[in-house]
Amino acid sequence: MQSELLDRSYHFLNFLPNVSDFLVQKHKESGLKVDEKSLYNLVTEADLKAESMILDEIQKNYPGDGILSEERGKIEGKSGYTWVVDPLDGTTNYTHGLPLYGVSVGVVETDTMTPLIGMVFFPELNTYYHAIRGQGAFREKTPIQVSRTSSLKDSLFVTGFPYDRNLSLDTLMQYYKSILQKSRGIRRTGAATLDLCWLAEGKFEGYYELGLKPWDMAAAGLIVLEAKGRITSMDGNDFSILIPSLLATNGLVHEYLLAEFEGQINRVVY
């Protein structure tokens, strides 16, 4: 298995700069075609082309692998590996000319959906993060770890809001107020993969969000775990990319946050 993971990781760490270059070039052009999948949930021609580039590369080089991607859905495989792909995380940022967006590619074990490889490229931040299960987390070639801050008052947090946030706005604001009152602050980048990667290298102490999808978590979630962070659902259950509630921390403030969320999880946004 290890050699198979190394091969897939090495291949895509060398391929994904092509996708990054395409997204940067497309971002410079005027007249980007944008459609609404639902309220607040956008898709652009750049999302679709980037996804095609990634999926074509997977199917050409690893034809037995399965695929789960944001725009094209699920493609069954027989190898025991499934690629989980978000070709453009942070589409709203992208459409507004912001550089806070990423390309996320992960590989999971098909039967258990356990993350095995994580790679996230941030084209206009000129950096990338990656991990293989059991081998640590890296920003480019440099090992990274979560912060060692242990108190809420000294911690900086980050969050995001689900697309159907109007269904549970009061609950979301309750979470926000609860954490904001006891910490240094809360940020929102608009890209879950960026939140998790910045947590993994110690910029944030914790990240929480409801309404996530597997492609939001598969690659960047593994990077956090390999950076010695901790991940559960917001109600304390074991991490699964199939559970759309995520609490990721440096481990030292995790129990404090679970206590803040206890009894408040609003499953409407699932």
Q: Are 81 and 106 in contact (CB under 8 A)?
A: no
CA distance 37 to 80: 31
Does 86 appear as a known binding residue? yes
Q: Are strands 156-159 and 206-210 parallel, antiparallel or unpaired?
A: parallel
**Cα 258 from Cα 80, distance rounded (Å):** 34
Residue 263 φ/ψ region, left for φ over 0, alpha for ψ in the -120 to 50 degree band, beta for the rest: left
88 is in an annotated binding site: yes
**Adjacent-strand bridge partners of 268:** none
Question: Measuring CA to CA, which residue among 117, 166, 123 is closest to residue 6?
Answer: 117
> What order do you get walking across the sheet with 230-232 strand by strand?
185-187, 156-159, 206-210, 245-249, 230-232
216 a known binding residue? yes
Specify whether the CB–CB gap between 150 and 253 falls below 8 A.
yes
Residue that has been written with the tokens 């980007």 in this structure: 32
Q: How far apart are CA 263 and CA 261, in angstroms?
A: 6
Among residues 200, 57, 28, which one has the least CA distance to residue 69?
57
CB 234 within 8 A of CB 246: yes
Residues annotated in a binding site: 70, 86, 88-89, 216
Residues annotated in a binding site for Mg(2+): 70, 86, 88-89, 216
